[in-house]
């Protein structure tokens, strides 16, 4: 949690977390946790493996048939691990 606080400078505002749609996990991560997405080669036919890097360190990775779905999985998992969002039964 300290690493995240150092990256953000402050916690994600409660109003942001309470007003977002389920589809906004990637947007919240992108807006509040500076980092970069990277697609890894060789995930297999029809699969995309995506990872998210913060200061060059991998903080999440997922594979899915669509890039946007892999990003959503990474974003949701990271935000949940940091206890920044509530559990979403659709994503669990």
Which domain CATH number covers 34?
Answer: 3.30.160.20
Specify if 65 maps to a domain.
yes
Report how many domains make up the chain: 1
Could you list the residue range(s) of the whole structural domain that residue 64 is in? 2-81
pLDDT at 71: 93
Whether residue 69 is contained in a domain is answered as yes
Would residue 92 count as lying in a domain? no
By three-state DSSP, how is residue 75 classified?
helix
For residue 3, what pLDDT is reported? 46
- Chunked in runs of 10, what are the mean pLDDT values of the chain (92 residues)? 44 58 75 90 85 95 92 92 81 81
pTM metric for this prediction = 0.74
User: In this structure, is residue 27 part of a structural domain?
Assistant: yes
What's the CA gap between 34 and 68, in Å, rounded? 18
User: What per-residue string of b and e applies to 40-75 under the rule 16 or more CB within 10 Å gives b?
Assistant: eeeeeeeebbbbbebeeeebbbbebeeeeebbbbbb
Q: Is 71 a domain residue?
A: yes
14 assigned to some structural domain:
yes
């Amino acid at each position: 949690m300290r690493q995240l606080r150092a990256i953000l400078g402050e916690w994600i505002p409660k109003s942001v977390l309470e007003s977002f749609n389920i589809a906004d996990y990637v947007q919240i991560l992108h807006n509040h946790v500076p980092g970069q997405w990277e697609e890894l080669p060789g995930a297999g036919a029809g699969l995309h493996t995506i990872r998210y890097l913060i200061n060059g360190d991998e903080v999440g990775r997922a594979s899915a048939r669509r890039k946007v779905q892999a990003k959503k999985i990474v974003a949701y998992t990271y935000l949940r691990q940091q206890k920044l969002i509530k559990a979403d039964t659709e994503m669990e």
